[in-house]
């Protein structure tokens, strides 16, 4: 991380990759001017960004050892990524870490930070490093001579990366996420140094905001929240009961309106603001109160018109009427489409603005 400047242009370094000949290639974005082969440039390292990356990278060493101590020696690094903002560490493990394990790992790492262990790098033969139990990347090809990085006696790893001089420079280590990324592979995301402080501050601000909105004392947030949730539950229950009562009295008033058309008991009414599902539910309840009757409930809204036809069981048994057949007649009369079962059927169509007229002519439509 840093910048590259020439007399004609300025570049921002976004990352590096290793080329086949072991050269380090800088991947850059041109900020201004142009750059060409043969230009003389000066490269500047962004010290703060580099230090922040070294914090996360060094913390990764401590994290791997801590995971092996808490979870077991089966933990093997599967991948890792570090930048100035955070670290990501993938490792083999068969189950999700429980909150207690996450806390233990986090605490063990922070203890090594507080111990302010020296971070030392040395070169040695691969066989010697292996004999000392240095952790290596499984499947990685190493040369005969390797670089071994140790954090006190806590961690020893083969590594060519950028490290701090002492673990105390990490400042603070905080795990922010633990998840599965593949079968048997977990991923930990963590922050170190200033980003760790920012993470904690952000959580505090969130809690402050919740406390503020709840107007609760710090230790009463959960109690107050539980109280509100209980209250909400009670209100919802009361609302459901009120709706049931309202529906009950609506059905009673519809039953009062039932009249005779020939030998059929019949009622039809337009109801404002009911969805077709609600109409169906109402019609079904009404049907049970009118074994020898036919009921039609109508509603219009949002450019649509809908009718629900219900037929009582006695009429169905006597094969006198079927709601499905009546719905077809109604559809033909109102220009909609409809059908359904013998007990209950629905007709829907475009709102032609004549709902009241249709309701007035309903008996004629169905029995005329
Ligand atoms: Zn390293």
- Mean pLDDT throughout 261-273? 88
Which two three-digit tokens encode residue 182?
């593949």
Place of tokens 């140094």: 193
Least confident range from 69-78, 118-127, 169-178, 265-274: namely 265-274
How remote is the CA of residue 136 from the centroid of ligand 1, in Å?
11
How remote is the CA of residue 107 from the centroid of ligand 1, in Å?
20
How remote is the CA of residue 180 from the centroid of ligand 1, in Å?
24
How remote is the CA of residue 249 from the centroid of ligand 1, in Å?
75
Least confident range from 166-170, 186-190, 274-278: namely 274-278
Choose one of 211, 236, 271: the last residue of a domain.
211
The environment of the single-atom ion ligand 1, i.e. residues with CB closer than 5 A, is 149, 159, 161
pLDDT (0 to 100) of residue 170: 97
The fraction of the chain above a pLDDT of 70, given in percent, is: 100
How remote is the CA of residue 139 from the centroid of ligand 1, in Å?
17
Which two three-digit tokens encode residue 31?
């900020």
Do 206 and 62 reside in the same domain of the chain? Answer: yes
Do 240 and 345 reside in the same domain of the chain? Answer: no
Do 74 and 178 reside in the same domain of the chain? Answer: yes
Place of tokens 């952000």: 202
Count the domains in the chain. 4
Instruction: For the sheet with 2-5, list strands across it.
Output: 24-33, 9-18, 2-5, 42-45
**pLDDT digits over 197-245, tens only?**
999 999 999 999 999 999 998 889 999 999 999 999 999 999 989 988 8
**In the structure, what pLDDT confidence band is assigned to residue 195 with cuts at 50, 70 and 90?**
very high
- Compute the 3-state secondary structure of the chain and give helix, strand, coil in percent, each to the nearest 5: 40, 30, 25
- Mean pLDDT throughout 133-160? 89
pLDDT (0 to 100) of residue 194: 96
Do 299 and 183 reside in the same domain of the chain? Answer: no
Q: Decide if 125 contacts 158 (C-beta within 8 A).
A: no
How remote is the CA of residue 358 from the centroid of ligand 1, in Å?
81
Q: How far, in Å, CA of 236 to CA of 233, rounded?
A: 5
How remote is the CA of residue 286 from the centroid of ligand 1, in Å?
76
Residue 138 pLDDT > 80: no
How remote is the CA of residue 58 from the centroid of ligand 1, in Å?
6
pLDDT (0 to 100) of residue 272: 83
How remote is the CA of residue 103 from the centroid of ligand 1, in Å?
23
- Mean pLDDT throughout 21-32? 87
**pLDDT digits over 85-133, tens only?**
999 999 999 999 999 999 999 999 999 999 999 999 999 999 999 898 8
Do 345 and 321 reside in the same domain of the chain? Answer: yes
Residue 186 pLDDT > 90: yes
Do 281 and 318 reside in the same domain of the chain? Answer: yes
How remote is the CA of residue 158 from the centroid of ligand 1, in Å?
7
Range of the domain at 130: 51-211
How remote is the CA of residue 96 from the centroid of ligand 1, in Å?
26
Choose one of 190, 211, 232: the last residue of a domain.
211
Do 124 and 271 reside in the same domain of the chain? Answer: no
Mean pLDDT of the chain: 92
Q: How far, in Å, CA of 256 to CA of 250, rounded?
A: 10
Choose one of 211, 237, 271: the last residue of a domain.
211
pLDDT (0 to 100) of residue 143: 84
Question: Which burial class, exposed, middle or buried, applies to 132 when counting CB atoms under 10 A from its CB (0-12, 13-18, 19+)?
Answer: exposed
Do 230 and 157 reside in the same domain of the chain? Answer: no
Which two three-digit tokens encode residue 242?
């009120």
Do 65 and 202 reside in the same domain of the chain? Answer: yes
Do 127 and 200 reside in the same domain of the chain? Answer: yes
Do 358 and 340 reside in the same domain of the chain? Answer: yes
pLDDT (0 to 100) of residue 197: 97
How remote is the CA of residue 312 from the centroid of ligand 1, in Å?
80
Q: How far, in Å, CA of 291 to CA of 309, rounded?
A: 14
The fraction of the chain above a pLDDT of 90, given in percent, is: 65
């Amino acid at each position: 991380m840093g910048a590259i400047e020439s007399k004609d242009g300025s570049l921002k370094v976004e990352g590096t990759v290793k080329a086949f000949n072991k050269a380090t290639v800088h991947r850059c974005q041109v900020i201004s001017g142009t750059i060409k082969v043969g230009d003389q440039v000066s490269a500047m390292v962004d010290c703060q960004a580099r230090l922040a990356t070294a914090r996360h990278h060094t913390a990764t060493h401590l994290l791997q050892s801590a995971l092996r101590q808490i979870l077991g020696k089966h933990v093997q690094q599967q991948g890792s990524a570090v930048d100035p903002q955070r670290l990501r560490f993938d490792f083999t493990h068969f189950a999700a870490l429980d909150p207690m394990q996450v806390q233990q790992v986090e605490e063990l790492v922070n203890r090594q930070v507080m111990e302010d262990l020296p971070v030392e790098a040395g070169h040695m033969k691969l066989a010697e490093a292996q004999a000392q139990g240095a952790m290596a990347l499984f499947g990685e090809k190493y040369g005969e001579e390797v670089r071994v990085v140790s954090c006190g006696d806590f961690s020893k790893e083969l590594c060519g990366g950028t490290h701090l001089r002492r673990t105390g420079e990490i400042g603070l280590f905080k795990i922010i996420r633990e998840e599965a990324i593949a079968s048997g592979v977990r991923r930990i995301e963590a922050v170190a140094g200033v980003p760790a402080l920012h993470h904690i501050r952000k959580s505090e601000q969130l809690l402050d905001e919740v406390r503020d909105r709840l107007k609760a004392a710090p230790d009463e947030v959960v109690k107050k929240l539980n109280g509100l949730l209980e209250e909400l539950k009670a209100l919802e229950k009361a609302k459901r009961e009120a709706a049931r009562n309202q529906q009950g009295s609506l059905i009673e008033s519809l039953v009062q309106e039932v009249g005779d058309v020939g030998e059929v008991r019949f009622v039809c009414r337009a109801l404002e603001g009911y969805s077709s599902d609600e109409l169906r539910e109402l019609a079904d309840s009404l049907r049970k109160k009118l074994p020898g009757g036919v009921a039609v409930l109508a509603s219009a809204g949002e450019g649509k018109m809908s009718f629900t036809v219900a037929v009582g069981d006695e009429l169905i048994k006597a094969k006198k009427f079927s709601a499905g057949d009546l719905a077809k007649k109604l559809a033909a009369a109102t220009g909609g489409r409809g059908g359904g079962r013998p007990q209950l059927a629905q007709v829907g169509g475009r709102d032609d603005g004549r709902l009241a007229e249709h309701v007035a002519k309903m008996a004629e439509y169905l029995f005329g």
